[in-house]
Amino acid sequence: MSLSLFGTDGVRGAPGRFPLDAATIARLGAALAEEAGAAPRIVIGRDTRESGEWIERLLAGGIRSAGGAAVGVGVLPTPAVAFLAARGFDAGVVISASHNPVPDNGIKVLTRAGEKASRRHEARIEARVAAARERGSAPPAPVAPASDAGLSDEYVAHLAAVLDGAPRLDACRVAVDCAHGATSSVAPGVLRRLGIPVVAVNAAPDGRNINVGCGSTQPAALQRVVVEQRCRLGLAFDGDGDRVILVNHRGEVVDGDGTLFVCARHLQAAGRLASNSVVATVMSNIGLELSLRRAGIAMHRCPVGDRNVRDEMRRRGVCLGGEQSGHVIFSDRLPTGDGLATGLEVLRVIAETGWELADLTAGLETFPQQLVNVRVDAQPDLDDVPGVRSAVRAAERRLGDRGRVVVRYSGTEPLLRIMIEGPDP
């Protein structure tokens, strides 16, 4: 019997209902441990959602039932758990629904290299869970994982190294919006440790306020704070801290496309842009592609999802890639997006050039882009839906080579996303 648990970014859903019901979570923990080898050690981190500890105990029970040891590090960003997984663990798990609304939660599986599990790896886990259900055996009982909160210090030291050798930043005030999520207990402290003045907002999680009117998807509050507090930079994280949206000193939003442009140009100038190329997704603005081309930098597109970005980067030997939504990967540091590390990289560019972010993005052309999300009850293949592909082709003919239409399903929510862009509003 086949079983579908994983979407484009792990398992997502409402806690208590399939695929995040107690039995499935516990069996998933056991399957993960079985896939990780003999007597595996598995690190577990979570965001601030109130259902996180319940899911953690179920996973830990499943892991123990299969002969593994679960080590809980508490609330930590996804990239922190990825970093730790690659330092002495056999696998990692993040309990988070990222930018999704509060009622949702999710489970992301990481390999011993700190990478998100491949689709093939996820399929093997699904097969094990399906087999356990088919046998009808009782799911493992929940247990508390062993706790080692001190492991987070290793991640903090890793972040601090991003600014090694950079000019002083003690006059560069930074505002951070932690989305009441996983970066709340990390980002302000890391910046202060580096001598950077910090204004922190939305950093008081209560289990029910993650992503509510704040963070990378709703940066309006941060924009006001940056202007009112005269900050040079604002950093808006999502709930699990693997993406960041920037705000310049004027209070203007700079998305992941802008971050890619700034970092690519800086790496190019330093002779450190591998293959003189970057990777972006089909959702990145065509203006980014044209602006990079004028600078002598090639841009390669891939499907949406930071796992797809990572795979394409590896295939092309590229060190920088990302998504418009704010996932940016510096492969020489970590094989996944890290919002805080990305913010520090941009701070390094500001410090080394002496320019404001607004100046650094001045050469980036952006075409008007409209995104519409349509809620759907099912996701049939779009090729099987009458009229969709012909309508897209007709629109593309009208736009020519200076515009695009992208129609795709969300991999994390029941939405059909329709994006259109061109040189004219």
Tens of pLDDT, residues 315-336:
999 999 999 999 999 998 888 9
Q: pLDDT value at position 384?
A: 84
Q: Which structural domains are found in the chain, ordered by start?
A: 11-147 (3.40.120.10), 154-360 (3.40.120.10), 369-421 (3.30.310.50)
The Cα-based distances of 300 to 258, 398, 412, 420 in angstroms read 16, 24, 24, 19
Q: What is the DSSP letter of 332?
A: T
Q: pLDDT value at position 425?
A: 62
The Cα-based distances of 279 to 11, 19, 318, 330, 421 in angstroms read 25, 32, 7, 11, 19
Q: pLDDT value at position 1?
A: 56
Which residues are part of the catalytic machinery? 98
Q: What is the DSSP letter of 142?
A: P
Query: Do 214 and 198 form a contact (C-beta atoms < 8 A)?
Result: no
> In this predicted model, what pLDDT tens digit does every residue of 322-376 receive, in sequence order?
999 999 999 988 889 999 999 999 999 999 999 999 999 999 999 998 989 999 9
Q: pLDDT value at position 148?
A: 85
Q: pLDDT value at position 180?
A: 98
Q: What is the C-alpha separation between 43 and 285, in angstroms, rounded?
A: 37
Beta bridge mates, 372: 418
Query: Do 222 and 180 form a contact (C-beta atoms < 8 A)?
Result: no
Task: State pTM to two decimals.
Answer: 0.93
Q: pLDDT value at position 400?
A: 82
* 242: Cβ contacts below 8 Å, ≥ 6 apart: 77, 78, 79, 98, 306, 327, 336, 337, 338, 339
Q: pLDDT value at position 303?
A: 94
Query: Do 15 and 54 form a contact (C-beta atoms < 8 A)?
Result: yes
Average pLDDT of adjacent 10-residue blocks, the chain of 425 residues: 84 97 98 97 98 98 98 97 96 96 96 95 97 93 91 92 91 97 96 97 98 97 98 98 98 99 98 98 95 98 94 97 98 92 97 97 94 92 87 86 86 87 79
Q: What is the C-alpha separation between 198 and 200, in angstroms, rounded?
A: 6
With both helix axes pointing from N to C terminus, report the angle between 52-65 and 22-35 in degrees, rounded to the nearest 10: 50
- Cα atoms in the Cβ-side hemisphere of radius 13 Å centred on 185: 17
